[in-house]
Structure 1
Amino acid sequence: MFETLVSTDRALARHRDGPLAEQRNRYLLHCADQGGTRESLRLRARSILWVAEHMSPNDFGKVDASRLHEIVYGSVSLATPAPTTAATLVSFARPWLKYLGWWPQVEDSIPFAPALEHFVAWMRDERGLTQCTIDQWQYRTSKFLHWCSDTGRDLATLRPQDIDAYFVTYGAQRWSRISAGHIATMLRVFFRHTASIGACSAALACSIQGNRRYALEALPYALSWDDVRRVIATTSSDTERDIRDRAILLLLAVYGLRRGEVASLRLDQIDQLGGQLHIWRLKRRQPQIYPLVPSVGEALSRYINDVRPSVTHAEVFIRVQAPRIPILATAIYTIVSRRLRALDIQAAHLGPHALRHSCAAKLLADGLTLKEIGDHLGHRSTSATMTYTKVDLASLRQVGDFDLGGLQ
């Protein structure tokens, strides 16, 4: 690997003859397989070589954070690195040491882990919930269990007053009224299951009363179609990031996809010749076939054929930086939010779901029925689409007059 990164015999000899050559070479090959560019690999190779040259034999096998700081910042050599260089050395050395298994892993232990693991297995194996729902409920439940541990409460002796205290002391400054209602529902399910295995009192689930909610109380938070066009226009350059993000934004705005549906989109779901897009709808748990809109098809084709890295992953959208792996659903939020905020667009929510709402509002303005809009968005029932009717229809009609510039 070294010979592909350096151009002189002297530099090559230093890399080959330096300490831990085999461990460094193996790691660089791993980084190359993950899609690292030649320039990033060269910098990485120089950095870990410097660290290896300043390690002592006692460091081989285990280096923690304080020892790495001592190696880099406590060097007494004549070539003591500048602060910015030292920071670079640390940032590259840490993943190398982790790859070798030499970096002590501090496990984030979750209090009452057996109860949480049993709950997750039950959601997955018996209830058959989607992975997205399982992840969200696992995260929310672990937050509650951490709070119990931090406040000296035990799951087996928990009382209804303790749950009230959680909502008052922890949730009051963090959750909206609707979010609090969702968390109350989640905890009620968790305690009902946990009581069934004898890990807590059976009275806890019944003691949780959700707050009052009203049908259609929340307004939709669609962006104007003009703002949708503006955010898509920010992806007009020829960089890999912009070409990728343009395809992502179009999928969100034109088809109203959820972020998880975009992140999980695979190459075999795009039929360019047949002009079809096959989407696995997370909530319906079944595939849905759409006509491939020309503007979306062009954006997808340009990304896949021109700039998408050559990786073995089946997912369409890949990280721009190494490791070259499929992007996560959480990254979709970052992509959308960053571009909306850069344009100073004002809205209640600045994420991918705002584009989904914008899609629904545009369809409503174009005269589609709630059933048709619900089918387009992958809703399981018409009631899920009702929130989009609580808008100013006269204003929405103006959206239909915009020049969509190929986005319709």
Structure 2
Amino acid sequence: MFEQLFRFPSALNPHLSSPLVEERRRFLCHRAEEGIGRNGLRVLAYYLLACVDYLRLAERPGELITRDEVERQAKLWAGRVSPAPNMRRISGRRSSRIEFLRHACAWLKFMGRLQESVPTSGRFADELGEFARFLDREKGLNPGCSNARCAAIGRFLELLTANTIPLHKVTISMFGEIKDASFDRGFYSEENKAALEEIVEYPCLPQKQRTQYTRCMETATLRFKQARQRHPGIESAIGALQSGNGLKRCRDRSESGFGRYLGLAILGRNMHTLANC
């Protein structure tokens, strides 16, 4: 496999002389069978070398590696100064950390050396577990952030189905007070529109491109225009709260952190209003 990816000895020798040659070769073959191209495999091979070095895998044969340790080493690797001049401009980038994290976790799972986190309990354990794996694999989030998001979604699902109603049986009758729902242009799709029509009485989804005559007539209705007029007003209110707090985004984690952020935003907005009186 390495001989097929690297033509020159100067590029090939580090991959053959470094530890865990067979383990790296098997994983590269596995990824090649999944359809990864030659360039992608070459990049992966370099990341596997970094994993062997930073995680000291050869010095700890068979030892399970925690996700927290992979996260720490990913930050160190992303903050390094690369000896290659053409690679120095990307040192320290968040994408470098995420790529290291993604490739390292995938390889450790393939070898059975990644210590999995404790599965979530509750009625939605399977769905939340799949969502947590998606956040780890695709988004590269750390365990604390993933757990906080899963916990928030779990509480919402429990509240939504408090009467032991399956999630797929949620209907518009359960949301009697919600009549209209307005979204940004990028949210529009026929699937999203059809799904919202089953829950909300009147979904307002504007399109980016030119629309057909029937769609133009729909957007010309008074109800559609009123919904679109309220949309920027809601966004302005959110922006005002953010400006009152002096932050453009919430940097506190967990539900309590968001509550603190919102409380400071309301306090700052009220002080601004009192100052103008």
Coarse TM-score class (shorter-chain normalised): 0.3 to 0.5
TM-score (norm 2): 0.44
TM-score (norm 1): 0.32
Q: Which has the higher contact order (CA 8 A, sep 6+)?
A: 1
